[in-house]
Every structure is written in structure tokens, then in C-alpha cells.
């Protein structure tokens, strides 16, 4: 089973700042990694697929990078609606599908 480790657990930033979230895989997942955003009481929303491709309707301030075992989600300039929990997820080797434990992005 591929384990995904996200860091930091919590990130405290202000609107307008740049956010950098990390996801590390226990073995290579190539580029088969996605990022999701989840707000309280809502289902997750797909932001990024295949490490660096934005899903339909996702603003350009969201970008993904990385391959192999190290991945990054960057939000270039935080909007108030971006404060949420973010999860990475791999599909390189499944079952099982695995998610990271999440990074909570909170307002400073």
C-alpha cells in the first residue's frame, strides 16, 4: 500500500499570501496524483489531476507540480474561500486507493 504523507498538518496564512502544501509518497506514483479541496459539511472537490492539470472550473491560482514521490499544491494568492482542508490522493497502484491525511489551511 502506498502511503501519502502531507505537510504541514496545519498552515496559517492571510488572504493574499501564497500557500505551499506538500505531499510525499512512500514509493513512486509517477504523475498519478490528485488534489482535493474540502470545506466543512461539503464533499471533496477535485482540483488537480495527474499532478499538474487543473480540473474544469478550477481557478488559475491553483497549481500542482511534482512527480515520483514529491508533490506540491500551490495557491498563488489566497482568497477567503480557499481556507479549507486539502487532500492528496494516488491512483498509481490500487487497490487500495490512498489519500494523505490532509492539510488544514486556516486564516491567520
Partner 1 sequence: QVQLVESGGGVVQPGGSLRLSCAASGFTFSNYGMHWVRQAPGKGLEWVAFIRYDESTKYYAASVKGRFTISRDNSNNTLYLQMNSLRAEDTAVYYCAKGGGYCSSTSCPFFDYWGQGALVTFSS
Binding site for partner 1 (CB under 8 A): 34, 36, 38, 43-46, 49-50, 53, 55, 87, 89, 91, 94-102
Query: Judged by CB, which is closer to partner 1: 8, or 15?
Result: 8
Of 15 and 59, the one with the shorter C-beta distance to partner 1 is: 59
N-to-C CA span, the chain: 35
Q: Which is nearer to partner 1, 68 or 102 (CB)?
A: 102
Which CB, 17 or 97, lies closer to partner 1? 97
Contacts of 40 (CB under 8 A, 6+ apart): none
Give strand ranges (E) for the chain: 4-7, 10-13, 19-25, 33-38, 45-49, 53-54, 62-67, 70-75, 85-90, 98-99, 103-107
Q: How near is the Cβ of 96 to partner 1 at its closest, in Å?
A: 5
Give me Rg for the CA atoms of the chain.
13
CB of 54 to partner 1, least distance (A): 10
Q: What is the smallest separation between the CB atom of 14 and partner 1, expressed in angstroms?
A: 25
Amino acid at each position: 500500500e502506498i502511503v501519502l504523507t502531507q505537510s504541514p498538518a496545519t498552515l496559517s496564512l492571510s488572504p493574499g499570501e501564497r500557500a505551499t502544501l506538500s505531499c510525499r509518497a512512500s514509493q513512486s506514483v509517477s504523475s498519478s496524483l490528485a488534489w482535493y479541496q474540502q470545506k466543512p459539511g461539503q464533499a471533496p472537490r477535485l482540483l488537480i489531476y495527474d499532478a499538474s492539470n487543473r480540473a474544469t472550473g478550477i481557478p488559475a491560482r491553483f497549481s500542482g507540480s511534482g512527480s515520483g514521490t514529491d508533490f506540491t499544491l500551490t495557491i498563488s494568492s489566497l482568497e477567503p474561500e480557499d481556507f479549507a482542508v486539502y487532500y492528496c490522493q494516488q491512483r498509481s497502484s490500487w487497490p487500495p486507493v490512498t489519500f494523505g491525511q490532509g492539510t488544514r489551511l486556516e486564516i491567520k
